[in-house]
Chains A and B, each alone.
Chain A
Amino acid sequence: MKNPAFPFLLPMLLLSLGGFVAPMGVLAFYSLSAGGNPGLFGNYAAFLEDPFNLWIIVDTVTLGFKVVVVATCLAVPIAMLYWHGGRRLRQTVVVLALLPMLASNIVRTFAWIVLLGRNGPLVAIADALGLIDGPRSFLLTEGGLVIALAQIELPLLLLPMIAVLSRMDRRLVEAAEMAGAGPWRIMFTIVLPLTLPGIIAGWILTFASAATNFVTQAAIGGARLIYLPQFLYRQVNILFDWPTASVVAFILIISTGSVILALAMLTRHPRLIGNA
């Protein structure tokens, strides 16, 4: 190679090929060939034949969607607060959005175990309001898991939205105001549509992170709520069934990846290009 930059790239290139591409290739080959099922895609066919497994796929993708929906409901008012805020309020919102990032996923999950548990404040509040009869726990429920994941992944949605809002031209909103639009209408027809590139970027990050967040899913969902990551973990460390685990690994990539690709396609819409 004549290019003088090549020696600088070589170590990373070797690491990528040897440390990443090769193991992933092995995994792909393994998922096709290991195990006792006949045919090229025998392992996959065997996995997909079981309706229980299909439900796990559906549940995983649905979990991702539910978290995205809840996180969006939480993020929109905060983003609008940022939009209307002056310099100080805007700084405060950004700092508070970054603050949870200082705590690791385990720490944030731990917080939710305290909050959702039998002795936690949420149960006490719900009990006081008469929403539930008698002390119980919100752990091991899908609702609890969705709320926890939504809070844990919220900065991933909020920060891209704020990035777009901070660059948005205020005159667009003033133009809408002069056209006679009220605050709600401005939010729905101008501010949010123009934030869409940030929202979609945030949806991708939130979805990917929530659907594959093994630690939170396992710690809050427990053994009763099974999603693909935990299923994968069990195949490896409990059942020692590596062929099935490798199939699950690719199914996890494909099922979440196709949602992510679909979302990414949305950003190519001609009306979204160029703004943001």
Chain B
Amino acid sequence: MQTHSQALTVNGLSHTYAGQPAVEGVSFHVAAGEIAALLGPSGCGKSTVLRAIAGLLPAKPGVISLGGRDISPLPGRERGIGMVFQNYALFPHMTVAENIAYPLSFRGWDRKRRQARVEELLATVQLGGLERRLPRQLSGGQQQRVAVARALAVDPALLLLDEPFAALDRALRLDLQIELVRLQQTLGITTVIVTHDQEEAQALASQLVVMNRGHIEQTGTPAEIYDHPASLFVNSFVGYAGKIRAVVESASAAGSTLKVSTGETLRLPRELRFAPGSPVVLTVRPERLSIVDRPSDFTLAGRLLVSTPLGPDVIRSIALADGTEIKLTEPRDLRRSPLESSAPLFIALDVVNLHVFPAGEAL
């Protein structure tokens, strides 16, 4: 199977449901052959964007182009896009083979050719021999793969998947995610996947489009988004981030000082773009914190609340002096004597990598 993979561009897409704006001014680009993930909390408009790309909703205003051609005026069925729906939308009255052959039957393919194509697709998704089953006789994972096969049947230039793993057990999810990535890489098909699960998005996609409340917060590779979040929302939605309130005392090229809500003072060796007196929120990733014995310019005093082992790591919940709770992870060290609960300690912040956002932003 060879695919004529094409680049997708969405430009200025908005949609309102009966006067209620659901998405506004959404623009992003997916290079040919790439997997992009639309990521965001439930109800933020991901499905709406996907359905507009598919042609199931009008993209007015907005332009959607595939391989450089504007496909906005075309109805969904003439766009040549394959789509896997949330809960798969397999036709319950058709067998697996009939489901997969459904899109082929409109293209004037004869029976033989259809049958051969169905077999080929079933082999691709590793479901050979299940042709005559009805969808309700399949497991969730099998149903998902039938839906993928049906979406791929006519060699689409673009594959859209709406929460394809949401209905599956955690254990099964990982296997199917790997399988999907492998399939996508063999076919080289441009793919957009919708998910509210940031781990899933990072695992699958080479590009993330993070959405919140109907607009895009940030686009970029998973690493860019994790390490350089553009907003407090992205920072806390993608991966865990502890939040500490502070007020800027001084900010200059030589360095900045912050008055933390605990009363302590922190020094950052960089310039902040905040006027002195601005309230801000510092965010810290748990793996970038460490426990130290002695206070310094970039430590805060704290008290251990609880430690939870998680695989090779241990997660520690720590209360700062004013009660603010943050989490910290460190490798589990069996030789060191375990920390006592309520033990006073100092947390060293990675002052180079911590992020500072204006406090006005919703948490």
Contact = CB atoms under 8 A, between A and B. Distances in A.
Given A185-B106, A271-B134, A178 B54 contact: yes
Interface of A: 169, 171-172, 174-182, 185, 189-190, 193-194, 196, 270-275
B113 to A, nearest CB: 16
Given A169-B87, A177-B76, 20 more contacts: A171-B87, A171-B89, A174-B51, A174-B83, A174-B85, A174-B89, A175-B150, A176-B91, A177-B56, A178-B56, A178-B83, A178-B103, A180-B154, A181-B102, A182-B106, A190-B91, A193-B93, A271-B92, A271-B93, A271-B94
A179 to B, nearest CB: 4
A178 B82 contact: yes
A193 B94 CA distance: 10
Most central of A175, A178, A190, A275 by chain B CB within 10 Å: A178
B136 A179 contact: no
A199 to B, nearest CB: 13
Contacts of A172: 89, 91-92
B86 A171 contact: yes
Contact of B103 (A169, A180, A190, A271): A180
A274 B86 contact: no
A179 B103 CA distance: 4
B107 interface: yes
A274 B92 CA distance: 8
Interface centre among B81, B85, B150, B154 (most CB of A within 10 A): B85
A275 B134 CA distance: 11
B148 to A, nearest CB: 12
Contacts of A171: 85-87, 89
Interface string B53-95: 0111000000000000000000111100111011101111110
A41 B222 CA distance: 84
A199 B332 CA distance: 64
17 contacts: A171-B85, A171-B89, A174-B56, A174-B83, A174-B85, A174-B89, A175-B83, A177-B76, A178-B54, A178-B151, A179-B77, A181-B102, A270-B134, A271-B92, A273-B136, A274-B92, A275-B92
